[in-house]
Amino acid sequence: MNPGRIAAVLIQIVFVVGAAPLLAGLIRRVRARLEGRVGPPIVQPWRDLRKLWRKERIAPEHTSWVFITAPLVLVASSVVIAMIVPLVTVASPLDRVGDLFAVVSLLLLGTVFLALAGLDPGTAFGGMGASREMTVAALAEPTLLLAVTALAARAGSTNLAAIVTAALDRPSVVLSAQSVLALVALGIVTLAECARLPVDNPSTHLELTMIHEAMVLEYAGPDLALVELAASMRLLLFGALLANLFAPWGIATGTGVVEMLAGALVLGGKLVLLGAFLGVFEVFVAKLRLFRVPELLAVSFVVALVAVTASAFLGVGR
């Protein structure tokens, strides 16, 4: 493995870890400004993480190793995804394992561990949040597979780097009907997987409506910092995949340091636009009632299925 490929992995990891809290801060800032408030600075999530990291680690009585391990698994799975998916460059040395099924498996691994951690203390709200989270995951993960599979037809491969490269070679396929349908389905899945409105409200403290927050009520100190960092990293990864799968222009095709730094700047610009759009979107959208969430995810599944069917019949990329 040459130094350029090693640098590609390191740049992607540093970019995801460093920029993820800033993306969350940008969304909060945009929401606050539209609501007529000054709002916290964009770097406030990093300040919160630093403060949490300095606190004492506290674990509920009678919890097992799952409770302590879950935050580490969440962060580790997100870091591995950052290593294998095409974020800054499509020439990552680990792109061979950057398969769609590997990425979905890593996402599901973190979700399962967090749900188990919510069940571990034996509290009512933890169990409620874990049950709701697994319901959402059971509906969102198949939709994610179908949506990206619709894009895989143009590359003849489920490798994410190959899909992005195919879009760079044939820009017209990005505006095809299959791509538009896949974008709609993947956008809804992103809201569900990242616990955003209208599926979940990341800023709520009303226990009966919480999904993600209900599972992490018992966490404190460094463990809570890891959970919050992993949540922001997952949001950035989904946003980066949306940007590179449907607007791949600007991503580096080699492993030159200057080229990869330029790719990181372009990706940062895409994420700023996406974060601003998400902030505006959340201001004008209300949270769905819980029994309506499966209906929304079912719609996204049908849209993804139509995208796959259209790809099969039209033969995009063959």
Cα gap 169→60, rounded to integer Å:
54
pLDDT band of 32, cuts 50, 70, 90: very high
Cα gap 72→274, rounded to integer Å:
28
pLDDT band of 137, cuts 50, 70, 90: very high
Per residue, the 3-state secondary structure of the chain, as one string, reads CCHHHHHHHHHHHHHHHHHHHHHHHHHHHHHHHHCCCCCCCCCHHHHHHHHHHCCCCCCCCCCCHHHHHHHHHHHHHHHHHHHHCCCCECCCCCHHHCEHHHHHHHHHHHHHHHHHHHHCCCCHHHHHHHHHHHHHHHHHHHHHHHHHHHHHCCCCCCEHHHHHHHHHHCHHHHHCHHHHHHHHHHHHHHHHHCCCCCCCCCCCCCHHHCCHHHHCCCCCHHHHHHHHHHHHHHHHHHHHHHHHHHCCCCCECCCCHHHHHHHHHHHHHHHHHHHHHHHHHHHCCCCCCHHHHHHHHHHHHHHHHHHHHHHHHHCCCC
Q: pTM here?
A: 0.95
From residue 90, give the alpha-carbon distance in Å to each of 7, 17, 224, 255: 13, 19, 33, 9
* Whether the Cβ atoms of residue 8 and residue 16 lie closer than 8 Å to each other: no
* Whether the Cβ atoms of residue 199 and residue 206 lie closer than 8 Å to each other: no
Q: How do residues 73-118 score in pLDDT, each as one tens digit? A: 999 999 999 999 999 999 877 777 778 999 999 999 999 999 999 9
Over the chain, what is the mean pLDDT?
A: 92
Q: How do residues 161-220 score in pLDDT, each as one tens digit? A: 999 999 998 888 888 888 999 999 999 999 999 999 999 988 876 666 789 989 999 999
Instruction: State the CB neighbour count (10 A cutoff) for residue 276.
Output: 14
Cα gap 26→250, rounded to integer Å:
22
Residue 41 structure tokens: 């600075």
Cα gap 316→318, rounded to integer Å:
6
Residue 211 structure tokens: 């999904």
* Whether the Cβ atoms of residue 22 and residue 42 lie closer than 8 Å to each other: yes
What are the boundaries of each domain within the chain? 3-314
Per-residue pLDDT at 207: 66
pLDDT > 70 in the chain, percent: 97
Mean pLDDT of 229-254: 95
Beta partners for residue 150, in sequence order: none
Per-residue pLDDT at 156: 85
